[in-house]
Structure formats: structure tokens, C-alpha cells
Amino acid sequence: MKIFPIKEKVFEFELSYGSYNVYLTGGWHTENIDDLDIHLFDIDTTETITLQCEDFYGMRKQDYVRKQRAILAFSFDIQKYSNLKLTISNPEILVVKRQNPYLILHDLLFGNRNVPIEQINVVIK
């Protein structure tokens, strides 16, 4: 499992072959994720790795990662052991909300608060 703050914008790491998921921690709903400029590529071969969007009619899988709320953003496959680099050019446009906006009663009582960019982590597992 690889974890880094989204505000760092660039992260280099190593992974062996397999299928991986990219999670965003802090909440259970995202907005503007389609406008996020995110790229993953192999450092050694400069090959770009395709990130597949993981949503089902606008809804994304919710989970807990290291006791934090997380939402599945992307998935990808790699075929060999690789040195990878993940770049996020504009993380400040991403909005992560603590609760799902469809919980209307919760919104009326507590409001649907946004997670500050400093508290959002990217988790690859």
C-alpha cells in the first residue's frame, strides 16, 4: 500500500505486476474528479499507464482505508515490476465531501462539509 498527500502533486513509487486501485481518503463523495488532471507513467520506459474511472452511474465505491473514509477513484493494471510516477496537476479543484450528498437528513442536521485539501490522501493498493 502506497500513501501520499494529494497536495504534493508528484509521487514516485515501485510496484510489482498486478491490478491496483487508487483511493482518495477523507470522505465518501467527490466532485470535479473528471476535471482532475492525473497521469501515471513508467519512469524507465516513459510508457503511460491508463487509469480507468471506477464509477457506476455517477456513484463510486466507498470503503475504509486505514480507518479513514475513502472512495475508489481509479484502477489500473501493470504487467511487470515498475518504477512509477503519479502526477496530479490541479488537485485544488477536487472537492471531497465527508458524507454522501444523498443523505438529505444528515445534510439538514449537520451540513455536508468539504474535506480540506491538506487532509486528502491518495492511496494505491
Q: What is the rounded CA–CA span in Å between residue 92 and residue 42?
A: 25
C-alpha cell at 35: 476535471
Which residues have CB under 8 Å from 39's CB, separation 6+? 48, 86, 87
Per-residue DSSP letter, 106: H
Q: Are 97 and 28 in contact (CB under 8 A)?
A: yes
Q: What's the distance, Cα to Cα, between the start and end of the chain in Å?
A: 5
Q: What is the pLDDT of residues 35-77, one digit of tens each?
A: 889 999 999 998 999 999 877 666 788 889 989 999 999 999 9
Question: What is the pLDDT at residue 16?
Answer: 94
SS3 34: helix
Q: Are 94 and 36 in contact (CB under 8 A)?
A: yes
Per-residue DSSP letter, 93: G
Question: What is the pLDDT at residue 5?
Answer: 94
Chain centre to alpha carbon of residue 104: 25
* 104 pLDDT above the threshold of 70: no
